[in-house]
Amino acid sequence: MAFCDDREDINSFLLSVTKSLLEKYEIPPSSIGRIDVGTETLIDKSKSVKTLLMDLFPGNSDIEGIDSKNACYGGTAALFNACNWVESSSWDGRYALVVAGDIAIYAEGGARPVGGAGACAMLIGPDAPLVLEPVHGTHMANVYDFYKPHLSSEYPEVDGPLTQTCYPTALETSYDHFRLKESRRLGNAKGDKKDVSLDDFDYACFHSPYGKLVQKGYARLMYNDYLSNPSAEKFATVPSHLGELDRATTVLNKEVEKTFTALSSAEFKAKVGPATLTSKKLGNMYTGSLYGALASLLDSVDSQTLQGKRVAMYSYGSGLAASFFSLRVKGDTTEMHTKLQLKQRLEANQVRPCEEFVQALQLREDKHNICDYTPAGRIEDVPVGAYYLAHCDGKHRRVYKVRGEEGKADVVENGNNAPEAQQIA
C-alpha cells in the first residue's frame, strides 16, 4: 500500500503525473484544449485542482474542463466528459487530458489497511489505440456507505457492511443496463440480457478497494450470466436451485458466492489478473484505481496479444455512482508499455515499516487545515522529477517545487496572475 506524509498532497500528485505525460510523449502544452480532473481528495472547497495544473500550460489559457467529484467515480466522470467533448461539435481539434488520483487514508481502525495512494493521466484524442465504445450502463442512487462530511478532517465516515452490498449491487445493476443497451445496439429492438455475457470480453478492469471484493464482483457477474442463460454448457455443474432464488436476496448468500467464485476462478485469473498490479502494490487509489488497473493490463500484456481485444471496465464511487462500459484495443500499445515501465517503477518503491505509515498519517492529521507552515516530511522520500509541497503561506496559498537531481529543486512557475507572495522571479 502506498502512502505519503505532509510533504505531498493531491496537487503535487496530479502536477507530477501531468508533467510526466507531457514530457514522455513530447506533447506541446498548446495542443491541449481540455483538462478534466477526477479526485475526492479536497484541499479547497472552491478552487479546483485543474487550476493548479494550468501552471504547466504557459501561454495556453484556453483550456476547458474542471474537477469532477463523487468518491471514486470522479475519474470516470472526467473520462466521459473529455471523450464527449472530442466527439462534440464544440471540439476544436486539440487533445483532452484526463487526470485522476487520490490519497486514500482512514482513521485508526479496521478500514485503515485498505487505503492507498496514486494518480494517473490519460491523453484523449482521435485515432487512439484504445477506443471507448459507445455503450455505457450506469447506476446511481442516494446511499451513505462512504462519505466525508467532516471538513476539518481527511478521514471518511464508512459503513463497511453497507459497502459490501452496494459494490456488487451497483455492479450487477450497471451490468444489466449495459447488456440491455448493447443488445439493442446489436439489433435486438426489445433488448435481451442473454445477448451479452462475460464471454464477450477478453479482459476486465475493476475499481479495486481491495482484491477480494474484485474477485467477488467478477463471480457476481458470472452469476448474472447464469441467471440469463442457465442452460449454457459452462453452468452444467451449478445446482439448479440457485437459479430459483430472488437475485436481490443473494448478494450476501455464501452458497452463491462460493459456487460462482470457484466456477469463475480460472477466468478471473486470465481476464482480471493482468489488471491487478497497481492495486496489489499501491492499494486503493480511489479515482485512479480503475485506470491503474488499465495501466496494469497494458504493462502486463504485449501489444500484439492485445490487438482487437475488448476490455470490460467497472467504475464505482460510493454515495453512489457506478458505470459498466468497455474499451477496444485498435492500435499499437508498445509505446505506452515502454513509457509506463510500471513494473520497474513499482519495484523501485521503498518498503517502510508500519510505524512510519502510522507516523505519516499522524503528521497529515496534525497539519490538516493549518497555514503558514513548511511541511516536515522528508524531501528525499519524493521521487526525482516529482512535485512536492514546499510551503503553505498565511492565506493557505501553496507553493510547489520539483525534486531535482543532487538536491537541486525547481520552483513551479505560478504565473503573472498569482498573488505577489506566490509569484516566482
How far apart are the C-alpha atoms of 366 and 360, rounded to whole Å? 10
How far apart are the C-alpha atoms of 144 and 35, rounded to whole Å? 30
Helices (H), 26-73: 49-53
One-letter amino acid at 342 equals: L
How far apart are the C-alpha atoms of 422 and 74, rounded to whole Å? 29
Q: Is 282 helix (H, G, I), strand (E, B) or coil?
A: helix
Residues with catalytic roles:
40, 72, 207
Does 212 carry a binding-site annotation?
yes
Burial of residue 1 (number of CB atoms within 10 Å: 0-12, 13-18, 19+): middle
User: Which letter does DSSP use for residue 227 in this model?
Assistant: H
- Residue 302's nearest CA partner among 278, 274, 282 is 274
Give the cell for residue 159.
459503513
Find out whether 262 and 218 touch, Cβ atoms under 8 Å.
no
- How many Cβ atoms are within 10 Å of 121's Cβ, its own excluded? 23
- How many Cβ atoms are within 10 Å of 425's Cβ, its own excluded? 3
- How many Cβ atoms are within 10 Å of 181's Cβ, its own excluded? 18
Find out whether 75 and 119 touch, Cβ atoms under 8 Å.
no
Cβ partners under 8 Å of residue 44, min gap 6: 396
How far apart are the C-alpha atoms of 409 and 24, rounded to whole Å? 20
Find out whether 165 and 251 touch, Cβ atoms under 8 Å.
yes
How far apart are the C-alpha atoms of 93 and 25, rounded to whole Å? 18
One-letter amino acid at 297 equals: L
Residues of each annotated binding site: 212, 216
Residues of each annotated binding site for CoA: 212, 216
